[in-house]
Amino acid sequence: SQTIHQWPATLVQPVGSPLSLECTVEGTSNPNLYWYRQAAGRGLQLLFYSVGIGQISSEVPQNLSASRPQDRQFILSSKKLLLSDSGFYLCAWSVILGDEQFFGPGTRLTVL
Amino acid sequence: GENVEQHPSTLSVQEGDSAVIKCTYSDSASNYFPWYKQELGKGPQLIIDIRSNVGEKKDQRIAVTLNKTAKHFSLHITETQPEDSAVYFCAASYSTLTFGKGTMLLVSP
């Protein structure tokens, strides 16, 4: 069966520090991968998605970037965090782009 | 792009009652409509979905209806239980999922 992992589970970072969140999927090959951000009391905002290694599509211009160095690994990064980057970051995968998606447990990021 | 509106934002019911959450979407090209349940501090979990060639789908106490002409779809939960308490999200997709803002469902014993 397929499993999706995210780490760390929680992170507290100062403004201006770098960020690296990691997501890995097990039990499937060539998944479509997604990064979402969820602000408190709001829905899920799609940040990036990837259909293959090295292929990244950005949905919202921002302070963040994404990379996919391996088939089942998706990384969310920032060079300098802003207060507004705080939120709950979710990784997801799907077999077909835009179809049935399965979410990871999320990373709670607090920028102080 | 796609826009999904979800109502109500909060819904309180007594155990055993039914709950209905409604969503509308704007892009007539959308053809996949999932519903997710999110418990506090966890990632969303897919509970049911429907595709544009189907008008209704049921899975035990949960059902979803889709009206493509009116561009709206609804989640129906019957015989609600306290463990149904969570935030529910609808979404619509043609190429990527666009989510509604969520409904907090509270089921009181």
User: Tell me, what's the pLDDT at B13?
Assistant: 98
Q: Dig out the tokens for B84 from the structure.
A: 């149904």
Once rounded to an integer, what is the mean pLDDT over residues A11-25?
97
Give the minimum alpha-carbon distance from B81 to chain A in angstroms, rounded to a whole number: 23
Contact B94 A99 (CB under 8 A): no
In the A/B pair of chains, how many CB contacts fall below 8 A? Answer: 49
- Burial string for B17-39 (b: 16+ CB within 10 Å, else e) reads eebbbbbbbebeebbbbbbbbbe
Residue owning tokens 């905002």: A45
How much of chain B is helix, strand and coil, in % rounded to 5?
5, 60, 40
Angstrom distance (rounded) from CA A33 to CA B22: 28
Query: Would you call B41 and A99 a contact, using CB atoms and an 8 Å cutoff?
Result: no
Residue A50 touches partner B, C-beta closer than 8 Å: no
Residue pLDDT, tens place only, B40-92:
999 999 999 999 888 999 999 999 999 999 999 999 999 999 999 999 999 99
Band of residue A98 on the pLDDT scale cut at 50, 70, 90? confident
Q: Distance (Å, rounded) from C-alpha A110 to C-alpha B26?
A: 34
Give the count of beta carbons closer than 10 Å to the beta carbon of residue A52.
12
The single residue listed with the structure tokens 């709001």 is: A42
Q: Is the pLDDT of residue A62 over 90?
A: no
Q: Give the list of residues 6+ apart from residue B37 with CB closer than 8 angstroms, or none.
A: B44, B45, B47, B86, B87, B88
Q: How many angstroms separate the CA atoms of A51 and A53, rounded?
A: 7
Q: What is the pLDDT of residue A94?
A: 96
Residue in A80, A58, A70 with CA at minimum distance from that of residue A22: A70
Peptide bond into A14 cis (omega under 30): no
Q: Do B43 and A103 touch (CB under 8 A)?
A: yes
Contact B49 A105 (CB under 8 A): no
Within the 72-91 window of chain A, which residues sit less than 8 Å (CB to CB) from chain B?
Answer: 90
Q: How confident is the model at residue A19 (pLDDT cuts 50, 70, 90)?
A: very high
Pick from A6, A4, A22, A20: nearest CA to A85: A20
In chain B, residues with a C-beta closer than 8 Å to the C-beta of A108 are 41
Determine the Cα–Cα distance for residues B73 and B55; give it in Å rounded to an integer.
Answer: 9
Interior CA angle at B5 toward A101 and B89, to 5°? 35
A14 vs A18: CA distance, rounded Å: 9
Query: What was the pLDDT predicted at A112?
Result: 96
For B:70-89, CB contacts with A below 8 A are 89
Band (pLDDT 50/70/90 cuts) for residue B1 is confident
* pLDDT per residue as tens digits for the range B21-39: 999 999 999 999 999 999 9
